[in-house]
Structure 1
Amino acid sequence: MGKGKFDQIGSNRITLQWFSLMVLSSQIVGVLAIILLAILFGQYRGGFGWTDIDKEFNYHPLFMTLGMIFFYGDAILSYRVFRDVKKIRVKILHGSLLALSFIFASIGLKAVFDNHNYAVPPKKNLYSLHSWVGLAAVILFGAQWVCGFVSFLFPKLSEDIRKAYMPSHRFWGKAIFSLAVASVLMGITEYSIFYKIYNNDEVNYQRNLICFFGVFVLIFAGIILYLVGHPGYQRPPDNEIEHIPLAD
């Protein structure tokens, strides 16, 4: 993990161990959340498939969680984990994870719109708070990715502009991630109410899967926001090798 600000906070060894433990914990609970969701929709809610609109819908919660929660969270965390790697490489990793997030989110949106549009009769789109918040998160996410790519990767704006924009980029990165978490939790709650999972004791195992999924998402998000917000875990200044633009 290197030196930097870790050396300024008590015992470097204890701090590094705590940081590593938190990163590992975030990945464990993140993967568990994905597994629980895959089991819920794959085994108990009809499975997955593109030829049946109900099975296609099941890709929506899974892919939105993969894209807007798991890969997005890891993208945010990449600058903390690879703090001694040359920054241009971390930038490429960060941007690639965000692109992967956007791909999964786009497929997830297609799944839910197909489920509504091809139903007989067709269902309304964008009628709930969940859908408004979720779509807003994806649109803001796409705009954030484009702005970050142009500003920091290619063609790369001047250093003064990048320094001025960086606080906004960081704020909106965390804000959009929090918005996505809220949307996912609202969505799984809306689904549970619509299909009467909460008040049906015959499917209490599904209710438990949903509750544990929500708890794991919250833990994952909490760890990510804690690690990126903690000043002691920031990338050290001596690793900020980015003064030469990629293209003049």
Structure 2
Amino acid sequence: MSVTPSSFAADARSYTFRSGQKKGQDSILVLYVQQFELHKDRRLRFAQFARNLTAVGTTRRSAAARGPLSQRTRGEKGSQNLIPKKEKRKGGEMNRLANESEMKWMPLLYGVTAGLSTLVVVFMLVWTFHFRGGFAWQDFPAIQFNWHPVLMVVSLIVLYGHGILVYRLLRNEPKKKLKLLHAIMMITALLLASVGLKAVFDSHNLAEPPIDNLYTLHSWVGLAAVICFALQWLFGFVAFLFPGVRHSLRSSYMPLHVFGGLMIFGLATTAALMGLLEKAIFSRVSYAPLTAEGILINSTGIAIASLSLLIVYIATRWQYKRQPLPEDELLLADQLAE
């Protein structure tokens, strides 16, 4: 006679109730039964989750087979009115999933993004070495300042911007790896920005005579961007990488995290453009008539603005949004079961 897990569990329960003398054995059997029921409940939850995924896939295939709404019969259109609004919204979100034809422009857009990023870095280095005297540290405060614009642009514009696009570019990679890569890129950008801030404060404080700090609009906007960046990274680490945080809390914080990231990127871009103009004015760069340095500064500003707009465009297009992979769904089901 075959013994199934369910029959074994039933026999274990009956034995537990019949045996009143063997308390040690009873406790072991009761513990086994409890563990069996727990794993059985998890398997049932996962089976229900798999059935839901199958139902969603069937609905999408049938909708694609019927064709566009304009080609459906009037009866089908009328039946749409019987569907609750909540279900319509869910169906609309599923229909927005990007297919391969919608992704055909992604390589070109990211190629342009990488090209603009390289151009911005080259412009900053040419400006620093050819017109500003290169780099130095505290022994030469005036030249030490040159670290500030280069590091701030590299960290808060180039590296930060590419950190935003990690989930768009590497959309087929596991989510856990993307989280770690995103966090590493952002903390690297924050460290470089901190060094850039130290360079500008040192160049002011060590000058003869000392120069006042934080009195321009550029300094206020830039410092606000760095402070918000630090808080954004800390909250993001706790919400998405710290173990034990509930999935519902992560889902609730995600829209705020996305908005905060784009807001900080906008502040950084604004501060960079104002900083270029401020440095040109303070250095008495001739704009009328245009000189080579003036043309380079203007070209750098246009490249930064173009790069930032392109990154925001890619980040906000729903076609390029990363969709959950099967292993992501299995991980989520296991978290919910726990």
Write the deviation string for residues 176-226 of structure 1: whole angstroms up to 9, x where unpaired. 00000000000011111111214364x711111111111111111111100
Structure-2 change in CA distance of 1:24 and 1:160 (3 Å): same
Structure-2 change in CA distance of 1:115 and 1:76 (3 Å): same
Structure-2 change in CA distance of 1:208 and 1:159 (3 Å): same
Query: In the alignment, which of 179, 183, 203 is matched to residue 95 of structure 1?
Result: 183
Alpha-carbon offset, residue 31 of structure 1: 1.1
Query: In the alignment, which of 85, 95, 98 is matched to residue 6 of structure 1?
Result: 98
Q: CA RMSD in A?
A: 1.7
Mapping for residues 1-248 of structure 1, pairs under 5 Å: 5-7=97-99, 12-13=100-101, 15-50=102-137, 51-155=139-243, 157-199=245-287, 201=289, 204-238=291-325, 241=328, 243=332
TM-score between the two structures when normalised by the length of structure 2:
0.67
Contact residue 26 and residue 223 of structure 1 kept, 8 A: yes
Corresponding letter in the other structure for 1:209:
L
Cα distance between partner residues in 2 of 1:230 and 1:148: 22
Contact residue 72 and residue 101 of structure 1 kept, 8 A: yes
Cα distance between partner residues in 1 of 2:180 and 2:324: 19
Corresponding letter in the other structure for 1:185:
L
Cα distance between partner residues in 2 of 1:125 and 1:117: 8
Structure-2 change in CA distance of 1:156 and 1:57 (3 Å): farther
Cα distance between partner residues in 2 of 1:139 and 1:184: 16
Q: In percent, how many aligned pairs have the same letter?
A: 38
Contact residue 75 and residue 94 of structure 1 kept, 8 A: yes
- Secondary structure class of the residue paired with 2:239: helix
- Secondary structure class of the residue paired with 1:147: helix
* Rg larger in structure: 2
Cα distance between partner residues in 2 of 1:185 and 1:156: 41
TM-score between the two structures when normalised by the length of structure 1:
0.91
Write the deviation string for residues 3-24 of structure 1: whole angstroms up to 9, x where unpaired. x9331xxxx34x3331110011
Contact residue 174 and residue 325 of structure 2 kept, 8 A: no
2:75: which partner in 1?
Answer: none
**Runs (5+) with no aligned partner, structure 1:** none
Structure-2 change in CA distance of 1:226 and 1:28 (3 Å): same
Instruction: Tell me which stretches of 4 or more aligned residues in structure 1 moved more than 2 Å.
Output: 198-201, 237-240, 242-245
**Runs (5+) with no aligned partner, structure 2:** 1-95
Structure-2 change in CA distance of 1:199 and 1:93 (3 Å): same
The answer to which structure, 1 or 2, has the higher relative contact order (CA under 8 A, 6+ apart) is 1
2:81: which partner in 1?
Answer: none
Contact residue 40 and residue 209 of structure 1 kept, 8 A: yes
Contact residue 53 and residue 118 of structure 1 kept, 8 A: yes
Alpha-carbon offset, residue 239 of structure 1: 5.7
